[in-house]
Amino acid sequence: MTVHFQRELDSLKRKVLFLGALVEKSVQLAANALESRDTEMADLIIAEDRKVDELEVEVEEDCLKILALYQPVAIDLRIISAIIKINNDLERVGDEAVNIAQRVNIMARRPPVDIQFDYILMAEKVESMLKRSLDAMVNMDQDLAYKVCLEDDEIDDMNRRVYDKVKEAIGRQPERVGYLINLLLVARHLERIADHATNIAEDVIYVIDGVILRHAEDELKSTPD
Amino acid sequence: MTVHFQRELDSLKRKVLFLGALVEKSVQLAANALESRDTEMADLIIAEDRKVDELEVEVEEDCLKILALYQPVAIDLRIISAIIKINNDLERVGDEAVNIAQRVNIMARRPPVDIQFDYILMAEKVESMLKRSLDAMVNMDQDLAYKVCLEDDEIDDMNRRVYDKVKEAIGRQPERVGYLINLLLVARHLERIADHATNIAEDVIYVIDGVILRHAEDELKSTPD
């Protein structure tokens, strides 16, 4: 491939990284907003999602332009096709952060219930998966991508722990079921973000060696709670 | 574009339709398995998902081959890029059907709780959205695609109704909270499938006139329960 193509591809990757940084920030702010019951911060996350949406459209247009202009083949073609999907995943991460923010706005209107679970820690782990899945993409680092995939189990465990805690808390305070279900669903939004990070890592692995990890993984996946 | 390209594209669309039919069937069986507490059927859905996974990989490979071989531009390029994403959505619909089947297996081990909600009806509506989103793709029918997008609200309403019913039922039978949360999550899996159908319909609209409905929609989206 030409120098021009390489330059365009580098610029495309930079844009994807920027999109990644935007949605990572949203996830982090969403966890903080939850912790501090901060509806202003929640509203900010919801408003800022427009930028994520705009950038997603831009990245997709860039991918189509590059395909039409350079007509890449083999690995270069696979990279562009993976970026089309990664871009899609990142936009949905933004949507999950918005979902959390919307739940924060609902919960902030009611007295808090503490289930003794560290959502900030869970969000940090999820953000780190996301960040490293994108690092793996930029550096075409297969080992790192595999590591990210493995961490998904840890997040699933955390999600299950929230489920147990919420179930227990509903037993003690059945009148707070609405609030508690919102807490459960926040953990599920975080878990979905980890799934998107895993999708990204799997796309990177797929690009590198054509191993279809995704579906082998599916078979190993444990049953939900 | 050449006759060859058109022939390849038609064959690709047929394959996507076949994948669509497979996952529609899984969704339908999952709703039946839930209704009849049929773990054999649930196990079948889980086992059959392997076919969905294999077909997804095949469709993606076909897309890459077509891109490399025919180097399509403009609308043809957009169609292939949309199929890459639609294919991805269909595979995830299969995963959601598997999630429902796994919950059926868990719930079938415990005595039933009836929340007076018609899951079969919800599943039928969701299947119909999915089917019509694919019809819209094959016939490039923008009106139909818009209709599918509008129906998503109805599914969101159903999902909210389940939430209210489950909340109420937990109040009455707090000892059955585990079972009831599984019922809640089944409705959420169905709602996710409707989201995938909406994504497909939006991709079709995007291909046809470049209108970025997806993000305009996001702004109008009502807050979650």
Look at residue B91 and tell me if it is in a domain: yes
Cβ under 8 Å to A: B residues 89-128: 95, 98-99, 102-103, 105-106
| pLDDT tens, residue by residue, A47-70 | 999 999 999 999 999 999 999 899
Query: A139 Cβ partners below 8 Å, 6+ apart?
Result: none
Pick B73's closest partner by Cβ from A60, A68, A174.
Answer: A68
* Inter-chain Cβ pairs, chain A and chain B, closer than 8 A: 100
Residue the block writes with tokens 């585990």:
B178
Chain A positions in Cβ-Cβ contact with residue B74 (cut-off 8 Å): 68
**Rama region for B52: left / alpha / beta (φ>0; ψ in -120 to 50; rest):** alpha
Cα(A163)–Cα(B179) distance, integer angstroms: 12
Residue in chain B closest to A196 (alpha carbons) equals B92
Percent of chain A with pLDDT over 90: 86
What is the mean pLDDT of the segment spanning B107-115?
Answer: 96
Query: B214 Cβ partners below 8 Å, 6+ apart?
Result: A53, B199, B202, B206
Q: pLDDT band for B74, please (50, 70, 90 cuts).
A: confident
Residue A176, pLDDT above cutoff 90: yes
Chain B positions in Cβ-Cβ contact with residue A53 (cut-off 8 Å): 214-215, 218
- Whether A214 contacts chain B with CB within 8 A: yes
- If one counts every other C-beta atom within 10 angstroms of the C-beta of residue A107, the result is 21
Q: pLDDT band for B212, please (50, 70, 90 cuts).
A: low
Residue A224, pLDDT above cutoff 80: no
| pLDDT tens, residue by residue, A8-34 | 999 999 999 999 999 999 999 999 999
What is the mean pLDDT of the segment spanning B134-138?
Answer: 95
| pLDDT tens, residue by residue, A84-111 | 999 999 999 999 999 999 999 999 999 9
Query: Is the reported ipTM for this assembly greater than 0.95?
Result: no
- Whether B47 contacts chain A with CB within 8 A: no
Look at residue A214 and tell me if it is in a domain: yes
Percent of chain A with pLDDT over 70: 92
Give me the domain span that covers residue B71: 3-220
Mean pLDDT of chain B: 92
| pLDDT tens, residue by residue, A132-148 | 999 999 999 999 999 99
- Whether B5 contacts chain A with CB within 8 A: no
Look at residue A148 and tell me if it is in a domain: yes
In b/e form, how buried is each residue of A144-176, taking b as 16+ CB within 10 angstroms?
bbbebbebbeebbebbeebbebbbebbeeebeb
- Whether B84 contacts chain A with CB within 8 A: yes
Tokens (6 digits) for B100 = 């429902």
Mean pLDDT of chain A: 92
Give the orientation angle of helix B3-36 with respect to helix B39-70, to 10 degrees. 170
- Whether B213 contacts chain A with CB within 8 A: no
**In whole angstroms, how large is the CA radius of gyration of chain A?**
19
pTM: 0.89
Do A171 and B185 lie within an 8 Å CB cutoff?
Answer: no
Domain count, chain B: 1
3-state SS assignment for residue A222: coil
Look at residue A203 and tell me if it is in a domain: yes
Look at residue B225 and tell me if it is in a domain: no
Look at residue A225 and tell me if it is in a domain: no
CATH number of the structural domain spanning residue A104: 1.20.58.220
Q: What is the pLDDT of residue B225?
A: 45
Cα(A223)–Cα(B2) distance, integer angstroms: 48
Minimal Cα–Cα distance from B144 to chain A, Å?
23
Do A177 and B171 lie within an 8 Å CB cutoff?
Answer: yes
Q: What is the pLDDT of residue A223?
A: 44
Look at residue A92 and tell me if it is in a domain: yes
Cβ under 8 Å to B: A residues 170-189: 170-171, 174-175, 177-178, 181, 184-185
Q: What is the pLDDT of residue B209?
A: 72
What is the mean pLDDT of the segment spanning B108-129?
Answer: 97
Distances (CA, A) of B40 to A8, A96, B31, B45, B51: 52, 34, 13, 9, 18
Tokens (6 digits) for A7 = 């330059």
Q: pLDDT band for B221, please (50, 70, 90 cuts).
A: low
- Whether A47 contacts chain B with CB within 8 A: no
Look at residue B53 and tell me if it is in a domain: yes
